[in-house]
A and B are shown apart, each in its own frame.
Chain A
Amino acid sequence: MERKLNVVVVGGGVIGALIAREFSRYECELTLIEKELDVGWGVSKANSAILHGGYDDPPGSVRARFCFPGNQMYDQLQSELHFDLKRTGSYVLAFRPSELPVLDELMQKARENGVEGCAIHSREQVLAREPNVRPDVEAGFFCPQAGITEPWMVAITAVESAKKNGLQLRLGEEVNGVQTVEEQGKRKVVSVQTPSATYPCDIVVNAAGLFSDEISRMAGAPCPELYPRKGEYILLDKKPAPLVQTILFPVPDKVSKGILVLPTVDGGTLLGPTAQDMDPDRKEDTSTTSEGFAQIFDHTIRMVNGIDLSKTVKTFSGLRPESPQKDFVLEKTPVEGFFNAAAMRSPALTSAPAIARYVVEDLVIEQAGFPLQRKIFFDPFIRPYAKVSELGPEEWEKKVRQDPRFGKMICVCNEITEGEILEAIERGATTIDGVKFRTRASFGRCQGGFCLPRIVEILARELRLPEDEVRYRSGASTLLGKKVRS
């Protein structure tokens, strides 16, 4: 029997995770290498979390090709992986008569991109659906296909699914070399290097987000230089009531889709993003700025009434990998076996399932001719995370009967129990953020004021670590110092 092909996916964001899951449908030795201590912690964790309708990408672009199909693949993906997904629909709102032609252009583009069901809504229709929109709105371009999700959970659950089907996950390892050899006049990838190991490989897919240009360079494959575009956000509390039900865009400007007001899957309201182009050497600068906050406020109050910043739960910023072409780089490179899924700017989250399938079926198998065989037994399902607060009291009680720790409240804002924290740890969380992103504990209005000490205690106990080794995230992000009394 021939040896199985070695496949390495570099990067555990939504793109890398879904690509790895696609590979896990095939007979191969599959490894995903991620530099952080968990998956979904780069670009994937700080963005608008939108499944775009696909109506506004330039017709003929790579983005337009993958956005709508990706959007349509999410329902099945969700039924297999059980991350949160809501088809909220989206509006592009015109507040001046001069903006109305933009809505017509969007209708036209939607048709060209094959996006179905879009319509222009009158002021009355917009206000009936979204009473907090400013009443001077002229009209709205409505796309029913748009929705919201939790991007990090897409990555987390996709990796879990791939692991169930044979993926080896290597966390906390940063790729620092890609080795190639010259064979019959052609360069060919042979291994991927990290500080602690060498991974021999036949196929490498580079999905390293902001750093995919650097990984590509290591392999000697061309890739446009990427630069980060910073987007800052303000998240508002779900109490007293969600401000909007639909994703609200202003009419787009030349740079971006504008600053939005949108609901989050757990009922909060997200304001943002700004769009600031940064130097290529600032790929880790996720700092927020007072100018950014001011800009968000200034833009969003022009669309929606009732924005109250005293309800701020969290501020954050994310970096989107942008290229001069402003389009995805999705290709078989001249280096045999080395594939790029790079420059994953918006709408990469939406496009991701379609991109992942394209990379494996079209680029790797079809175009490069790698003989990957489908597995006979591929299990697409993972079990849903227990979310006991979404059950009624009677159902919740049944859960408590199975395990009383589902009756012990840890996060009081989002109603997350010890049972759910333990499940998150059992399924891979090793840090505060790992627990937080899987369960939403400490994601609420008090930001860990109640639950943080308790989660530290549970993590230390379950992972058998001293409390001063419990980390917030990767690297030197420990929380606590020495013992007060030894």
Chain B
Amino acid sequence: MLLNNKRSVRKIEQVALLTDTPPDSQSNLTEAAQPHSPVAVFDASQPLAMSAGVALSPFSIAYQTYGELNAEKSNAILLCHALTGDQHVANAHPLTGKPGWWSALVGPGRPFDTAKYFIICSNVLGGCMGTTGPASTNPATGKPFGLDLPMVTIADMVRAQAMLIDRLGIETLFCVAGGSMGGMQVLQWAATYPERVFSAMPIATAARHSSQNIAFHEVGRQAIMADPDWRGGRYLEQGLRPSKGLAVARMAAHITYLSEEALQRKFGRKLQDRAGPTFSFDADFQVENYLRYQGSTFVDRFDANSYLYVTRACDYFDLAQDYGGSLALAFKHSKTRFCVVAFTSDWLYTTAESRAIVHALNAGGASVSFVEISTDKGHDAFLLDEPDFIATTRGFLRGAARARGLPQDDSSKNESAKT
């Protein structure tokens, strides 16, 4: 049901009135067509078999790499991005200029050490940063795909990534890691290509989307579709962008990324640059202003149809379903070393969801470590500089590197020199 009555639309306009500048209708379309990244093109000889039962061809994957692949090709790490992330994991974002989304963990001397590992991160299928998505040109029509792009699943994203890894000449990935929707891709990788994944870090994620997860995503999608500028998904051809709807979708989603405690600590009931309430629907409260800002900046870098596709991919994710309803069967006889990480205040993908994964891995006899990091920063904690999380990641990779016969980092060299 679309929220297309006049009152809802007027409310949405009020939000937009208070957002900064009208969004540049072309900015992320350029990035979708001509990304600031290398692009692997898969032509008619290599179609992508999609879960929806169709073949996608041709298609492209935009990706970034950091560090050097060693001669044995044994030090490659694939990082999988979350819902609205992209391949720019450790470099300045081409549209926003902000540091990469996982700069806290990726770089020289960081846990995902670019001095030791060859790090790959690709934009997901259905994305809008250079990989084939709804904003890409449909070769059959010469126009943007819009909703003509087949529905994308997490398994499709992973199959496409595997084709990229093949293209890069890599047989086995030393590690596949990612948080949130990235964690779903990690689980899918481990289940689909167990022999190609030496170690895996599913972080702040779940093996299936819960009813509440789906519900929040549906709110976001309906906000986009309720925007009159959405035009049934064909807005790009008309030079329009459903920015108001996309901004509201982002605002709603952003609340789910934070904990109540963190919101209360940061904003409480503080007013925004005013002594008292204005008795209007103006953004009196700081938290309102913050959310509106989050919404307004998001629309400058993200495509609304992409948002529909990637949220849907998460909703359809239920790994156990593909294995007769048993998650344990998905990981049976897996030789992959797993490190599952959850955060105490994450209510979007709770510790219980991570424990379900751990339970299944244990039942399947897999090698698994599980850490619950204490933090009040909510789901977003996996993107932040959380010392315990960083230490866990560093330790897990160090142990895995030892098992893989990769050179150890300096600190462990010192340790072994002492003994």
Question: Do A and B form a real pair?
Answer: no
Residues in B lying within 8 Å of A, measured CB to CB = none
